[in-house]
């Protein structure tokens, strides 16, 4: 089955640091990937849609200068949390959908990245 991998799974860093999270589709190509964040006991909140070779589309209220998204290849999207602060601490999850013309494909999710800013 489709596999989406995230790295790192856990990161702890000081306030003011920039943190990069990678999302890879391991056995399929994905022109579109999605980034979510999730706070404890809450549902996933869509942050942005990452498009290969073009700019990401951000949801309302998500700062594009704060959360930089790069989708440089068909199998890799990165989310960089710039100048992270404690309020950015959260669980970040990416997803991707296999590209198949004429069929409906569910999204496959990575196992998430736990970001803790001290």
Partner 1 sequence: LAKTTQPISMDSYEGQEVNITCSHNNIATNDYITWYQQFPSQGPRFIIQGYKTKVTNEVASLFIPADRKSSTLSLPRVSLSDTAVYYCLVGRMNRDDKIIFGKGTRLHILP
Contact set with partner 1 (CB under 8 A): 4, 6, 31-32, 34, 36, 43-46, 49, 51, 91, 93, 95, 97, 99, 104-112, 114
User: At closest approach, how far in Å is the CB of 90 from partner 1?
Assistant: 12
Contacts of 96 (CB under 8 A, 6+ apart): 2, 4, 23, 25, 28, 30, 32, 33, 34, 77, 107, 108
CA angle 27, 31, 32 (to 5 degrees): 105
Which lies closer to partner 1 via its Cβ, residue 18 or residue 55? 55
Least separation in angstroms between CB 67 and partner 1: 16
Minimum distance from residue 110 beta carbon to partner 1 (Å) = 5
Indicate the residue among 86 and 106 with the shorter CB distance to partner 1. 106
Q: Which is nearer to partner 1, 19 or 56 (CB)?
A: 56
């Amino acid at each position: 089955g489709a596999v989406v991998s995230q790295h790192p799974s856990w990161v702890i860093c000081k306030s003011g640091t920039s943190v990069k999270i990678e999302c890879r589709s391991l056995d399929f190509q994905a022109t579109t990937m999605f980034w979510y964040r999730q706070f404890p006991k809450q549902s996933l909140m869509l942050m942005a849609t990452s498009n290969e070779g073009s700019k990401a589309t951000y949801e309302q209220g998500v700062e594009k200068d704060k959360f930089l998204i790069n989708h440089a290849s068909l199998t890799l999207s990165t989310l960089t949390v710039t100048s992270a602060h404690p309020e950015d601490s959260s669980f970040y999850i990416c997803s991707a959908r296999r590209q198949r013309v004429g069929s409906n494909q569910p999204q496959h999710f990575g196992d998430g990245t736990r970001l803790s800013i001290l």
